[in-house]
């Protein structure tokens, strides 16, 4: 199956555009086009795809195919183990221990935040992948998101990456439960209720953030939950709040 990045590359070349020219026409950064074509961002936001389709001058059928390809991508990391039995992670036991303590506290009902910092290429993602695989084996639900420069202006872009899989897997009844009570209006902020793409302003009110908080509380009622965000420095402001 053709990936979004492969399709974008083919369409760009067919249009006779360089990455820089497409970026300028779509109002995006050239780096963002490179990331999309290389598959680093496999699931861009709908508005991003629409900007690209317009810049490429796509017919309706091609634009629909590009949008469908963007929806079929999934955020996933390579297989990994717990780093304690010859996983290939060298000298990472102390870092894994910090993550494992936080996960243990979550299983006991006490949430925590852990920030993994290091230079480019130092193994941050491999470390988190190893920890996430081990936690999933222990019964923790792990959902992933990734910040992206081209999506910083889209309110709740990173949070939608986290929430959409949880709501999709819940089924109709489960979804109604997760979006009940104080969390009911969270669907409007996340644009996952099928009512349209208008969304809310990036300057989200404390009331909206309260509803989003309760959505995650309802999710965590079913068991320990880990929210993992790669490249969090590129995440949009409302998601960071």
Where along the chain do its domains lie? 4-72, 77-138, 146-240
- 125, 118 contact by CB (below 8 A): no
Q: Does domain 4-72 have CATH number 3.30.200.20?
A: no
Q: Which of 46-50, 73-77, 139-143, 174-178 has the lowest mean pLDDT?
A: 73-77
* Terminal CA-CA length for the chain: 37
Tens digit of each residue's pLDDT (9 = 90 or more) over 135-145? 888 888 888 88
Which residues, other chains included, contact 124 with Cβ-Cβ below 8 Å and sequence gap of 6+?
Answer: 116, 117, 118, 230
**pLDDT tens, residue by residue, 173-226:** 887 888 888 777 666 666 544 443 444 444 445 667 777 778 888 888 888 888
- Count CB atoms within 10 A of the CB of residue 87: 17
Percent above pLDDT 70 for the chain: 81
Provide DSSP, 86-128.
Answer: S-S--S-HHHHHHHHHHHHHHHTT----------TTSSHHHHH
Q: Given this model, what pLDDT does residue 188 score?
A: 63
Residue 86 has pLDDT above 70, yes or no: no
Percent of the chain exceeding pLDDT 90 equals 5
Say if CB 155 and CB 238 are below 8 A apart: yes
For residue 182 the two structure tokens come to: 């104080």
Residues 6 or more apart in contact with residue 175 via CB below 8 angstroms: 167
Q: Show the tokens assigned to 61.
A: 């059928």
Under the phi-then-psi rule, with left for phi > 0, alpha for psi from -120 to 50, and beta for the rest, what region is 152? alpha
- The pTM score is 0.55
What is the predicted pLDDT for the residue at 80?
37
User: What average pLDDT does the structure give for the chain?
Assistant: 77
Whether 20 shows a pLDDT value over 70: the answer reads yes
For residue 172, the model assigns a pLDDT of: 78
The single-letter DSSP state of residue 42 is -
Q: Residues 117-132: pLDDT tens digits? A: 877 667 788 888 888 8
Distance CA 223, CA 117 (A): 28
Report residue 42's pLDDT band, with 50, 70 and 90 as the boundaries.
Answer: low
């Amino acid at each position: 199956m053709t990936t979004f990045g492969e399709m974008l590359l083919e369409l760009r070349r067919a249009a006779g555009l360089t990455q820089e020219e497409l970026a300028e026409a779509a109002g995006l950064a050239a780096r963002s086009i490179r990331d999309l074509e290389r598959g680093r961002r496999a699931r861009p936001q709908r508005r991003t795809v629409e900007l690209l389709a317009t810049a490429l001058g796509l017919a309706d059928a091609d634009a629909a195919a590009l949008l469908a390809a963007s929806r079929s991508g999934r955020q996933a990391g390579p297989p990994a183990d717990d780093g304690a039995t010859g996983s290939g992670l060298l000298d990472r036991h102390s870092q894994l221990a910090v993550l494992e303590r936080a996960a243990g506290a979550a299983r006991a009902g006490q949430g925590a935040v852990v920030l993994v910092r290091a230079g480019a290429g130092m193994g941050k993602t491999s470390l988190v992948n190893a920890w996430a695989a081990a936690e999933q084996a222990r019964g923790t639900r792990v959902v992933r998101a990734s910040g992206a420069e081209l999506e910083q202006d889209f309110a709740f872009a990173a949070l939608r990456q986290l929430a959409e899989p949880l709501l999709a897997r819940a089924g109709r009844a489960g979804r109604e439960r997760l979006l009940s009570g104080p969390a009911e209006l969270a669907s409007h902020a996340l644009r996952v209720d099928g009512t349209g793409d208008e969304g809310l302003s990036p300057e989200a009110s404390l009331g909206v953030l309260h509803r989003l908080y309760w959505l995650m509380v309802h999710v965590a009622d079913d068991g320990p939950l880990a929210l993992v965000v790669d490249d969090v420095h590129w995440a949009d402001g409302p998601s960071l709040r």
